[in-house]
Structure 1
């Protein structure tokens, strides 16, 4: 097979472009060199025992690649990822921080549009916020007549009850949540571990939000910050993930480091990322079927104020004008 023929076979088509709702595929890499050769994108791993080894990446099947510490990547490989519609994130160790992202131009705006429409409409924004609170409280707890102020009060009571429960479990005299960067070293181990673990969680949520194509800045409960939506989503998991971890480190001499290490070791990152994506989809479009691929989906549609959207890439000269 000729070199040109291999390149044509490797080029993606519309049908081949992976959708986040279908594959939910994330790949984390660290301490490797990523580059493109005549066959595809590969990760070069070098060890003293086994020398240089190449692992070829299933590029067309990947929705998001997280590049951790010690990773280098060539411009040609980045171009190939962009051509295949793969989001590339620069992350911390284990994917628990998100520093920057390369979002391909082929990434669908479907979920960004759902987010913006719901965010811009006060009624829809309240509905999404209530769904977020209901995920924390459990089904049926958030009645239709409760306003946002009441829901905030319920959330405050829930979190205080969790703190009290874990303080009793670990035989702590008392616990009060405190986050003061100016007085960081004087805070107790639980507060320091909780802040560190929450930062790790924010990084993973950020990766999922970017991979889905949503805006991290358009929050439904939080607002006024470039990570408002990340804080919204991360709050769904703190009671399950970061709060228990922080209290378990109440006697640690280095709670921040232990929180980061245990979060990476115990989190099962690749089970959480698809879960976050699915939760965001259900929050924004609770009635949508996000698992069935739409074979008629176009890469680009045209907006219409009456029908909503019309197919792109065709000549509309017969339309009335």
Structure 2
């Protein structure tokens, strides 16, 4: 028996279990592996000794406690009648979960998260391409081409022309779906002040888009990018969120909204259907891959392993050098 195996045999079973259960940085979930989102309303969310839980009270069942899988949850939507404690919010933030507070009309009011990825690699790429007008136009063009098909945007097309092409295609998409579901003429309308007077398709579309924004926001911040630095949208803290969300609306939220044209509760139906659909589309891995490809189209990247690269040091010549070591010998 070698000294190593002898030492191992002397460990108690409890010590072995403790060593196996000790968490490591590599155990943290990647954003691409996270669940989609959870919508809550008329509940109280708080932190107890076990974890974050939601208390649901009803006349029939009394008070029931449901624990939330915070470590594997990318986005939480807090609807009307929801209260949440500071400790619960802190736990969600530590796990990189986006928290979105919405009103009765699905109006996005607040979103915050802590990225799972601690590297600034993608933020630096985003900032460089956003700050240069030529690069910014190239990314915006790539976004339109991803939506409408490669090679559909002629060389030299201006951003104003791209917006015009987008408007024509989206309008034609609305008309096609309206004919398919036999609902007559449709016009996109979003007016939070007159929410209850809107038709079911508009209600469902706004509700599904709000869910989509939350998921996209979670993916963007988990990569370390800035939600505010948009390439098509501008002047809003969610500009990049709107940019990326637009890549998927024609495929996901718009057809879903039209399919709910006869629903008596289109908002709730849109949330449920959208969540179920995400199991098939695997949207989060797609968002991560699409953002990486848009910011660096020539190379395929994976989310960095946090145990291999926690932080780097900047160098004007080498670009980056290894951190966590003594560089005194370099002097």
Question: Could you tell me the TM-score, scaled by structure 1's length?
Answer: 0.74
Residues 24 and 58 (structure 1), Cα distance of their counterparts in 2 relative to 1, 3 Å cut:
closer
Q: Which of 132, 137, 140 matches 2:143?
A: 132
Give the alignment of 1:271-286 within 5 angstroms: 271-286=282-297
**Equivalent in the alignment of 2:230:** 219
1:101-137 Cα offsets, whole Å, 9 max, x none, are 3416973333222222221122221221111101110
Note the residue ranges of structure 1 that are not aligned, 5 or more in a row: none
Q: Give SS of 2:321's match.
A: strand
Residues 146 and 27 (structure 1), Cα distance of their counterparts in 2 relative to 1, 3 Å cut:
closer
State the alpha-carbon separation in 2 of the partners of residues 243 and 302 from structure 1: 45
Quick check: 1:266 aligned with 2:273? Answer: yes
Give the alignment of 1:1-321 within 5 angstroms: 12-20=23-31, 23-24=33-34, 28=38, 35=47, 59=71, 62=72, 64=74, 66=76, 75=87, 86-91=95-100, 99-103=110-114, 107-252=118-263, 257-258=265-266, 260-267=267-274, 268=276, 269=278, 271-291=282-302, 297-320=308-331
Contact in 2 for aligned 1:219/1:228 (Cα 8 Å): yes
State the alpha-carbon separation in 1 of the partners of residues 259 and 51 from structure 2: 42
Contact in 2 for aligned 1:63/1:211 (Cα 8 Å): no
Q: Give SS of 2:249's match.
A: coil
Q: Give SS of 2:97's match.
A: strand
State the alpha-carbon separation in 1 of the partners of residues 220 and 19 from structure 2: 32
State the alpha-carbon separation in 1 of the partners of residues 17 and 77 from structure 2: 27
Note the residue ranges of structure 2 that are not aligned, 5 or more in a row: 1-11
Contact in 1 for aligned 2:76/2:100 (Cα 8 Å): yes
Q: Give SS of 1:310's match.
A: strand
Question: Could you tell me the TM-score, scaled by structure 2's length?
Answer: 0.72
Contact in 2 for aligned 1:89/1:98 (Cα 8 Å): no
Between 154-163 and 286-295, the greater mean CA deviation after superposition: 286-295
State the alpha-carbon separation in 2 of the partners of residues 63 and 211 from structure 1: 12
Residues 159 and 78 (structure 1), Cα distance of their counterparts in 2 relative to 1, 3 Å cut:
closer
Q: Give the number of aligned pairs.
A: 306
Taking only aligned residues, the RMSD between alpha carbons, in angstroms, comes to 4.2
Q: CA deviation at 1:54?
A: 9.0
